[in-house]
Amino acid sequence: MSKCRWLRWAGGGIAGLCLLLFAVAPRPARPAVPARPVRQEEAGGLSGRVILVDAGHGGDDGGARARDSGLWEKEINLLVAQALREELEESGASVIMSREGDMQYSAKKREDLTARLDLARQHGADMVVSIHMNEYRTRRESGPQVFYREGQENSRLLAGAIQAALIRTLHPVRERSAMAGDYFILSLDVPSVLVECGFLSNAAEEARLLTPDYRRQVAQAIRDGIQEYFLLAPEHTPQAAPAS
Ligand SMILES: [Zn+2]
């Protein structure tokens, strides 16, 4: 069973799994993405942008477990997050990592996630990108999928741009759409997305995610999507007053 359920709103009373979310989430995003890829020179840099990169889970919370290798999701999340940090920093962004190693801020999941969001607040992050791996009971499901919070227009735009870049770069067998999802890590008033990079329950996708080259491609695609987002939403302003 995936520990991803802990990402959902505490107190919601729903023992839902993040792996279930892809099946039951509401309408897919209709990303307003360019019909063609945005070239690097057009995309411009990320200079001046502050981005929180959250490697999901950590410490006692391993997340999902890879079916063949037995690795925990938290380990692969961190490797992808580190690759993403490198890509973003090369593009000029200032990156805040929610964790650098195998740790958690609190054994209580809500407190752990709140501490990660506090980091984003303290550093005045423009954006939150949370990295996860999916799983499902059958081995057939595959493909990366990006989640955003319903009603957050800039987050929907960001999710659509990253989803399109992941498909363009990784050529997944199953091309998923970005979707709304009720995850606590997406609760700030800045554009926020949760990226399920692939299914650890799918043999082929797990094998790919265990190679540095593939993780680099995932990171580059997320970086490309972020750059495109800033082109699509140049006004880029916080969307709403922070929840009290
Ligand atoms: Zn997860």
Ligand 1 mean position, distance from CA 185 (Å): 11
pLDDT digits (tens, 9 = 90+) for 167-181: 999 999 999 999 999
- Asked whether residue 54 carries a pLDDT value surpassing 60, the answer given is yes
- Retrieve residue 23's tokens: 């099946």
**pLDDT of amino acid 235:** 66
Q: What is the DSSP string of 62-125?
A: --SB-TTT--BHHHHHHHHHHHHHHHHHHTT-EEEES-SSS--S-SSHHHHHHHHHHHHHHTT-
Burial class (CB in 10 A: 0-12, 13-18, 19+), 42: exposed
Query: Cα(188) to centroid of ligand 1, in Å?
Result: 18
Task: For 64-122, write each residue's pLDDT tens digit.
Answer: 999 999 999 999 999 999 999 999 999 999 999 999 999 999 999 999 999 999 999 99
Q: Smallest Cα–Cα separation from 185: which of 131, 122, 240?
A: 131
Distance 73 CA to ligand 1 centre (A): 7
From ligand 1's centre to the CA of 210, what distance in Å?
A: 16
Task: List CB-based neighbours of ion ligand 1 within 5 Å.
Answer: 4, 56, 63, 132
Query: pTM for this structure?
Result: 0.82
The parent domain of residue 216 ranges over: 3-9+48-232
Split at pLDDT 50, 70, 90, the class of 237 is low
CA of 130 to the centre of ligand 1 (A): 9
Domain count within the chain: 1
For ligand 1, the distance from its centroid to the CA atom of residue 96, given in whole angstroms, is: 19
Cα separations in angstroms, 144 against 35, 44, 204, 220: 20, 25, 13, 14
Examine residue 151 and state whether it is found in any structural domain, yes or no. yes
Task: Please report whether residue 38 resides in a domain.
Answer: no
- Assigned domain for 134 exists: yes
pLDDT at 78: 98
Q: How far is the CA of 53 from the centre of ligand 1 (A)?
A: 14
Would the pLDDT of 51 be above 70? yes
At 233, is the pLDDT very low, low, confident or very high (cuts 50, 70, 90)?
A: confident
d(CA 154, CA 56): 22
From ligand 1's centre to the CA of 119, what distance in Å? 19
Q: Per the domain annotation, does 243 fall within a domain? A: no
Task: Supply the pLDDT for residue 2.
Answer: 45
Q: How far is the CA of 80 from the centre of ligand 1 (A)?
A: 13
Check whether 204 has a pLDDT greater than 80: yes
Asked if residue 132 is part of any domain, the answer here is: yes
**What is the pLDDT, as a whole number, of residue 19?**
41
Ligand 1 centroid vs 90 CA: distance in angstroms? 26
> What is the model's pLDDT at position 38?
47
Q: Is residue 18 part of a domain?
A: no
How many angstroms is it from 235 CA to the middle of ligand 1?
31
Q: 15 vs 155, which has greater pLDDT?
A: 155
Residue 39 lies in a domain: no
| 33 falls within a domain | no
Query: Is the model's pLDDT at 241 over the cut of 90?
Result: no
The pair of structure tokens assigned to 149 is: 């919070």
pLDDT digits over 139-188, tens only?
A: 999 999 999 999 999 999 999 999 999 999 999 999 999 999 999 999 99
CATH of residue 190's domain is 3.40.630.40
